[in-house]
Chain A
Amino acid sequence: MSRLRRAAPASLAAVLLVTMPWWLGAVGGYTELATRIVVLGLAAMALNFLLGFTGVLSFGHAAYFGLGGYGAAMALKYLAPSDALAVAVGVAAGTVAAALIGALIVKLRGVYFAMVTIAFGQVFYFITFRWDSVTGGDDGLTGWSRLPLRLGPLALDVQHRDLAFYYFVLALFGIAAAVMGAVLRSPFGRTLLAIRENERRARFLGIPVERHLWLSFVISGGFASLAGALFALLNNFIDPRALRWDQSGNFVIMAVLGGMRSFWGPLVGAGIFVVLQDFVSSRTENWMSFVGLFFVLVVLFFPRGVLGVLRRRASA
């Protein structure tokens, strides 16, 4: 029973994602837009691992997202022509940064935690912004591109075929989502829920709260950096805006929009966000004020987010 209830949303998500290039095309979208939804959805889900399931708000997750992106871009530009290596380098860069910064901030709570995550995020933003010779500065890092994937005799031309790249991204997304889901259903995952629900009780059950928060922060930052690496490969470009504070804010908006208490909510939120952005920005430069208005309406009338409302309907 509970196994079925758990499997149903995941199967639905899988079907929708696998077929997304077609149905999104049918309603006026295009393959690259679908890829962007999956990539940013992964980032929002990674953030929500921390926000929705550990109860801690990070306002600086763009730092790990952006480091993932720069790691991947620099690996392709300076190290070796391999997408796999690029993704690995990006994830390693973001995860190490999350581990170091996480260790410094896990004692902070609430607003203080959020503020310090912003501050550290901005540190990385300014480094990429100023260090022209390595990062390309404000103009971003160009002069590289993703390459076809080769596995022995098999080759997948993710460089020129958008659809192939979409499925490459979706495969990694699927692995990431499966891992996050499995962690959340494990005894360790339940200690994170415990911390979210009541930190004092968690402590008095014998959970070393700071250590578990740190692990959650590292896992969350790691998956955010995977998303960032894929984001760089998607655009064949990365610039400092990918790790600026407003990008962090966008991830939070996506998570809250879709529903931060539901596992797939942030993906839905990312979908709404990206489609709104794409649709409105082709008509007006002030697209963000429309997204902002929409966000305010959702928070006022559906505080549990889009999926939170659907779930409540389903159980009522």
Chain B
Amino acid sequence: MNSLLAVDCVTQRFGQLVAVNEVSMLVAEGELRAVIGPNGAGKTTFFNLISGLFPPTSGRIYFDGKDITALPPQRRVALGIARTFQVTEIFPELTVRENLRIAVEVTGGHRLRLWLRRRAEGEIRARVDELLALGGLGGKADRLVGELSHGDQRTTEIMTSLALEPRLLLLDEPTAGMGDQETYAIAQLVRRLHRERGLTIVLVEHDMRVIFHLADRITVLSEGSMLAEGVPEEIGRNESVQTAYLGGAR
């Protein structure tokens, strides 16, 4: 199988601390990969390396065969990598529609335009409406995002990332801090994006139900290193994973 994302032995040091230690990972096109691990395992740092928030201390990262190790975030977005954050990053004082519209316009190559032709305007509106419907945000389209519930804010963030028409979507704890109902709604949305649209997704998550419900394969990190990788059944049976989660590894 073709791997869309190839992480080759990356290490990230912050001073004395080794946050990510020689981790390698191959993610196939169309796969939904979960990255799990106890707190402080380096999951978010690993994510930041993939999305380009900072370059790794050593190791290489390839996307669709192209070396992206040194590319800044906006160049990775152009190649098709979109991400959400653990703490939702949105435009709070703009409406849901405006949030999506900005993403759609940038993706359409309009970011420096001072006016739009009627046709482009129509296409942009249609695309925004489509995304609103897909995220179930139609009724809240003209509300300010900052006034919405946590779950709707997160959904807005996921939809803006989707507006970029990514080939790889990185979701950093999409259900963090949510109640059961919201968690379920987000999980269903992620599942649909994966199943119906064939989107490749890498997901950092704490909620085990979500992970075992969604993931094709699971990568387990512990103290910055790769502990195990496999399909959910294998990971569920893996003894060292159980020890790490039960705290025995400390």
Q: Which residues of A contact B (CB under 8 A)?
A: 182-183, 186-188, 190-191, 193-194, 197-198, 200-201, 203-209, 212
Q: In the complex, what distance in Å separates the CA atom of A269 from the CA atom of B160?
A: 36
Judged by a CB distance under 8 angstroms, whether B74 is at the interface is yes
Please determine whether B90 and A205 come into contact, CB atoms closer than 8 angstroms: no
In the assembled complex, the Cα of A193 lies from the Cα of B91 at a distance in Å of: 8
Residues of A within 8 A of B223 (CB): none
User: In whole angstroms, how far apart are the Cα atoms of A200 and B54 in the complex?
Assistant: 13
Rounded to whole angstroms, the CA-CA distance of A187 and B111 in the bound complex is: 6
B8: chain A residues at CB < 8 Å are none
By the criterion CB–CB under 8 Å, are A188 and B111 in contact? yes
Task: Point out the residue from A187, A191, A204, A209 that lies within 8 Å of B82, measured CB to CB.
Answer: A204
Q: Knowing A194-B91, A198-B90 touch, does A207 contact B74 (C-beta < 8 A)? A: yes
* Closest chain A CB from B134 CB (angstroms): 18
**Residues from chain A with Cβ under 8 Å of B92 in the complex:** 197-198
Q: Which residues of A contact B115 (CB under 8 A)?
A: 182, 186
- Residues of B in contact, count (CB < 8 Å): 32
Q: List 21 A-B contacts (CB under 8 A).
A: A182-B114, A186-B114, A186-B116, A187-B113, A187-B114, A190-B102, A191-B102, A191-B105, A191-B106, A193-B91, A194-B91, A197-B91, A198-B89, A200-B85, A200-B89, A201-B160, A203-B73, A204-B74, A205-B77, A205-B106, A206-B107
Which residue, B83, B103, B116, has most C-beta atoms of chain A within 10 A?
B103
Write the nearest CB–CB distance from B117 to chain A, whole angstroms: 12
Beyond the given A186-B113, A197-B92, please list 18 additional residue pairs across the A-B interface where CB-CB is below 8 A.
A182-B114, A186-B114, A187-B106, A190-B101, A191-B102, A191-B106, A193-B91, A193-B98, A193-B102, A194-B91, A200-B85, A200-B89, A201-B157, A204-B74, A205-B102, A206-B111, A209-B74, A212-B111
* In the bound complex, CA of A194 to CA of B103 (Å): 10
Tell me which of A182, A198, A207 contacts B106 (CB under 8 A). A207
- Specify the chain B residue showing the minimal Cβ separation from A2: B142
Does B26 belong to the interface (CB within 8 Å)? no
In Å, the complex CA distance between A176 and B147 comes to 34
How many whole Å from B50's CB to the nearest CB in chain A? 12
A203 and B101 alpha carbons, distance in the complex (Å): 15
Whether B214 sits at the interface, judged by CB under 8 Å, is: no
Chain A residues in 8 Å Cβ range of B116: 186-187
Measured between beta carbons, the chain B residues less than 8 angstroms from A203 are: 73-74
Contacts of B51-70 to chain A: CB distance below 8 A: 51
- Show the binding face of B for A, using Cβ within 8 Å: 51, 73-74, 77-78, 82-83, 85, 89-94, 98, 101-103, 105-107, 110-116, 157, 160-161, 164
- Nearest CB in chain A to that of B121: its residue: A187
> Which one, A182, A190, A206, contacts B77 given CB within 8 A?
A206
User: Which residues on B sit within 8 Å (CB–CB) of A207?
Assistant: 74, 106, 111
Instruction: Please indicate the chain A residues that have their CB under 8 angstroms from the CB of B85 in the complex.
Output: 200
Residues of A within 8 A of B78 (CB): 206
Report the separation of the CA atoms of residues A25 and B59 in the bound assembly, to the nearest whole angstrom. 73
For B75, give the chain A residue with the smallest CB separation: A206
Residues of A within 8 A of B107 (CB): 206
Once the chains bind, are B83 and A204 in contact (CB under 8 Å)?
A: yes
Of A197, A200, A205, the most chain B CB neighbours within 10 A belong to A205
- Given A186-B113, A187-B113, residue A201 in contact with residue B73 (CB < 8 A): no
Residues of B within 8 A of A186 (CB): 113-116
Residues of A within 8 A of B90 (CB): 197-198, 201
- In whole Å, how far is A304's beta carbon from the nearest beta carbon of chain B? 12
Q: How far is the CA of A183 from the CA of B78 in the complex (A)?
A: 24
A204 touching B113 in the complex, CB below 8 Å, given contacts A190-B102, A197-B94: no
Write the chain B residue with the least CB distance to A204: B73
Which residue on B lies nearest to A203, using beta carbons? Answer: B73
- Residues on the B chain within 8 Å of A200, using CB: 85, 89
Which residues of chain A are within 8 angstroms of B110 by Cβ–Cβ distance? 187
Alpha-carbon distance between A187 and B101 when the two chains are bound, in angstroms: 9
Q: Which residue of chain A is the closest to B85 with respect to CB atoms?
A: A200
Chain A residue numbers with a CB within 8 Å of B77 are 204-206
Rounded to whole angstroms, the CA-CA distance of A48 and B85 in the bound complex is 30
